[in-house]
Amino acid sequence: MSQSFAPFYDVNRTYEDNYLQGPFGAFAEVMKGDSAAGASAQSAQTTQSQSSDQAEEFLGFRVNLPFGIPAGPLLNERFTTAAFRMGFDLAVYKTVRSRAWGCNAFPNVLAVHPKNADGSLVPGSAELDEGVLADTRYELPISISNSFGVPSRDPDEWQPDMKKAIAAAGDGQLLVPSFQGSRVDGMDRKAYIADHVTTAHLVTETGAGLMEMNTSCPNEGHNRLLCHDPHLVGEITEAVKNEIGDRPLIVKLAYIPNDTDLETMVRETVGHGTVQGFSTINTISARLVDANGNQALPGVGRDRSGVCGNAIRGAGLDMVGRLAAIREKLGLDFVIVGVGGVIRPDDYKAYREAGANAVMSATGAMWDANLACEIKETLR
């Protein structure tokens, strides 16, 4: 690795090893001394949190600073509690399913090096299909591959762990569970919708006060995302909302290039009162190649991967700005969570100025565990 900082998710270990042994680096250090039974909500309060007079409201919950870590690198309660300890006041528990689901083969993470001088990837550009260099040369500003396949433990394991994670949030901190439906062979549309409802119900049993539904990972086949079908998302969110009641529901979106499609998504969900917010973006899909032009990640169907980190900040800001414009145009009330390429305090400010009610960082936070504290320092 080209710099000394140890990410809290160790990219040189398997997903299973990270789940069982992590977190690492500064996240591991901050967790030392915790009792085996876990800490109380009061002791989870980080000394780096903002004072109460700076707190903001987020979907009916008070948060010290609407900044945190999105679904992905926070694998279980140890990871989410460490995030709270490090001053990340919003922590999204990695996406869960109604059944156990395996992870893609190791490696899952590689460093990604776009050709643009600023390290950016532009949605729709030829480079995404021609090939982007990926290797183990991790450098700042960091961009990486995200090729996990949305693994999940069995509900018998994740439910009690999620309940612990919720309880570990300190004053002005909020645990956000993420979930998705699972499409399996032979499953029709009705059963697919029902699986979302089943999983949402399992989340409610943990005592969660809100939740996020992931529509931005492949559910409809290769390179087909659920969020590309706003009508189906509308059907699913209506069924889920009937199950979860007054709990706020956030939908996680990938990059949607067409304004008409994005507006249709808003109308089909927020317009029907089923969704209270959007989190965007997830990753940008790209063909990843090694220095010789060969497939970088091993295995069938892994020629492409989601790219996250510095490379996707422009796309994330674009989505947030367009969603904010649609929100104003339609006169609808919903929150926007800006995600993608937040690696420095100025990126947090840029997302808020673009219209985001909250901001999250996955890759940036992995490589800079002090990012939340750094942002809070700039706001004092």
pTM to 2 decimal places: 0.94
Dist. CA 92–CA 107, nearest whole Å: 23
pLDDT surpassing 70 at residue 345: yes
Asked if residue 47 has pLDDT above 50, the reply is: no
Q: So what's the pLDDT on residue 134?
A: 98
Taking the C-alpha atoms of residue 199 and residue 336, their distance in angstroms, rounded to an integer, is 23
pLDDT in tens, 13-25: 999 999 999 999 9
Residue 378 to residue 157: CA distance in whole angstroms: 39
Answer whether residue 212 shows pLDDT above 80: yes
Cβ atoms 225, 304 nearer than 8 A:
no
174-196 pLDDT, tens digit per residue, is 999 999 999 999 999 999 999 99
Q: Which residues pair with 108 in a beta bridge?
A: none
- Position 33 pLDDT exceeds 80: no
- CA torsion sign for 322, 357, 241, 175 is positive
Residue 27 has pLDDT above 80, yes or no: yes
Question: In angstroms, rounded to a whole number, what is the distance separating the alpha carbons of residues 338 and 223?
Answer: 23
80-99 per-position pLDDT tens digit: 999 999 999 999 999 999 99
Cα(124)–Cα(284) distance, integer angstroms: 10
Coil/strand/helix, residue 167: helix
Q: Give pLDDT tens digits for 217-269.
A: 754 444 579 999 999 999 999 999 999 999 999 999 999 999 999 999 999 99
ω into 23 cis (within 30 of 0): yes
Q: Which is nearest to 357 in space by CA: 280, 284, 282? A: 280
Residue scoring higher pLDDT (45 or 185) = 185
Q: Whole-number mean pLDDT of the chain?
A: 92
Do residues 202 and 157 touch, judged by C-beta distance below 8 A?
A: no
Residues, the chain:
380
Mean pLDDT of 201-217: 96
Task: Examine the pLDDT at 127 and tell me if it is beyond 90.
Answer: yes
- Which pLDDT does position 53 carry in this prediction? 63
**pLDDT tens figures, 128-175:** 999 999 999 999 999 999 999 999 999 999 999 999 999 999 999 999
1 pLDDT exceeds 50?
A: no
Please name the amino acid found at residue 331: G
More confident residue, 18 or 50: 18
